[in-house]
Each structure stands twice: as structure tokens, then as C-alpha cells.
């Protein structure tokens, strides 16, 4: 995949700031600290484009990146971070849910789960919601570099059981594992007419 250009476009805090120019959108979602921003940077081979941090809950807005001037990567706020107030938590949930249900050009949802752990109840809820809403989606199991190949195999089969029907790609932003496979899914989704 040749990335000619990848640029941060904007952070949107409410609906009127969403991009709305008809270009396809690929959304990245998952719990806080699962590695969404790192995965976006690794797909794009741009180290600091999406901001990463050790402080979970850092990405609080919907962040748009324009790729090759033809489609957007959308970094959604992470869910499930306990140390923010309840009202902030539900604001984030509402913002992400509104985006997922109403964004007209959403072509693929990439749901990130941590390869090292069983899916959390919020991971499962999101997965069920995507299935129920009939959204095109794929699961990326992140931080795969932290597991042995045996552990990874076990973990992937656990995802098959707990997130039924999902296609799961093991991913590492450190090593680039899974990068080609995920790009193939993304490009397929961008080219598919919705």
C-alpha cells in the first residue's frame, strides 16, 4: 500500500464538525489504551500522526485523517476508561454511537481488542451492536507482539468463541504484523460501493 499523503484534518467534538464531503470513512474503535492511535500510525507509517499516550482516555474527540486525498481514517474516543466522571463517559459513548449510526460514508468499522485478554463486556456489547446494526466490521487483536505464537493462537480461538462471526486479524503496531491483511480489508471496503 503506497501512502502518498496522510494528514490530520481535524478533531470534531460535535456533529456539526464532522467531515461531510462524500469521501469514504474507515472508523477505528475500541477501549481506551487498546492501541487505536498506534495502529493508525503503523498503518500509515507515520510515527506521530495520531497522538498516542500512556494516559488512557486521551483521545476524547473524533479525529479525522485524510489518506491519499481520497478517504478518511476516523479515530474514535476509547470506551471503558473508569477514571473519568460518569457524565463524561456517557458523552463519549453518545458521541461514538451517534457517529457510528449516522455517518453517511462509513465503509468499515475496525474494532480493536487487546490480544492478551478475553474481550471485556464493553467489547462484547460493541460487537453485538455492530452486528445488530449490520455494520461492516472487522476485529484487530492488538499488541500481538506481547504474546508467544502459542498464546496468540489460543487467544484468537477465544475471540472466535466470544465474538461469533467476526473476522479477526492479529495485529502489532510494534512489528507491523497484520498490517498487509488489514490494509487489504480497508482497501476492499473503500472500493466497495456502499
Number of residues that bind ligand GTP (CB under 6 A): 22
- Among positions 72-91, residues that touch ligand GTP (CB under 6 A) are 78
Binds ligand GTP (CB under 6 A): choice among 26, 32, 65, 123: 32
**173 contacts Mg ion (rule: CB under 5 A):** no
CB 142 within 8 A of CB 114: yes
Measured distance CA(48)–CA(65) in Å, rounded = 12
Measured over the CA atoms of residue 116, residue 119, residue 121 and residue 127, the dihedral's sign is positive
Closest by Cα among 79, 83, 138, 126 to 101: 126
Stretch that binds ligand GTP, among 34-42, 66-74, 116-124, 154-162 (CB under 6 A): 34-42
Min. distance of Cβ 110 from ligand GTP in angstroms? 12
Residue 126 neighbours by CB under 8 Å, 6+ apart: 29, 30, 79, 111
Binding mask 33-72 for Mg ion (x = CB under 5 A): ---xx---------------------x-------------
Please report which helix (H) or strand (E) contains residue 9, including its range. strand 6-12
**32 contacts Mg ion (rule: CB under 5 A):** no
DSSP 192: S
Stretch that binds ligand GTP, among 1-9, 32-40, 96-104, 149-157 (CB under 6 A): 32-40
**52 contacts ligand GTP (rule: CB under 6 A):** yes
Distances from the Cα of 112 to the Cαs of 5, 8, 16, 149, in angstroms?
Answer: 24, 21, 27, 19
**59 contacts ligand GTP (rule: CB under 6 A):** yes
Q: Which is nearer to ligand GTP, 24 or 35 (CB)?
A: 35
Q: Which is nearer to ligand GTP, 36 or 127 (CB)?
A: 36
Measured distance CA(10)–CA(5) in Å, rounded = 16
24 binds, among Mg ion, ligand GTP, none (CB under 5 to 8 A by kind): none
Q: Which is nearer to Mg ion, 60 or 98 (CB)?
A: 60
DSSP 119: P
Amino acid at each position: 500500500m503506497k501512502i502518498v499523503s496522510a494528514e490530520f484534518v481535524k478533531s470534531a467534538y460535535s456533529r456539526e464538525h464532522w467531515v461531510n464531503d462524500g469521501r469514504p470513512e474507515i472508523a477505528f474503535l475500541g477501549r481506551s489504551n487498546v492501541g487505536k492511535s498506534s495502529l493508525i500510525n503503523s498503518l500509515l507509517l507515520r510515527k506521530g500522526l495520531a497522538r498516542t499516550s500512556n494516559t488512557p482516555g486521551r483521545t476524547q474527540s473524533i479525529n479525522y485523517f485524510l489518506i491519499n486525498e481520497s478517504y478518511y481514517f476516523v479515530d474514535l474516543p476509547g470506551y471503558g476508561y473508569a477514571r473519568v466522571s460518569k457524565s463524561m463517559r456517557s458523552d463519549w459513548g453518545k458521541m461514538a454511537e451517534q457517529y457510528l449510526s449516522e455517518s453517511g460514508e462509513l465503509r468499515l468499522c475496525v474494532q480493536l481488542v487487546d490480544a492478551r485478554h478475553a474481550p471485556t463486556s464493553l467489547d462484547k456489547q460493541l460487537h453485538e451492536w455492530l452486528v445488530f446494526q449490520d455494520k461492516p466490521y472487522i476485529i484487530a487483536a492488538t499488541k500481538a507482539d506481547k504474546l508467544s505464537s502459542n498464546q496468540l493462537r489460543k487467544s484468537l480461538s477465544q475471540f472466535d468463541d466470544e465474538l461469533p462471526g467476526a473476522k479477526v486479524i492479529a495485529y502489532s503496531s510494534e512489528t507491523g504484523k497484520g498490517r498487509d491483511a488489514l490494509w487489504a480489508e480497508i482497501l476492499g471496503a473503500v472500493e466497495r460501493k456502499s
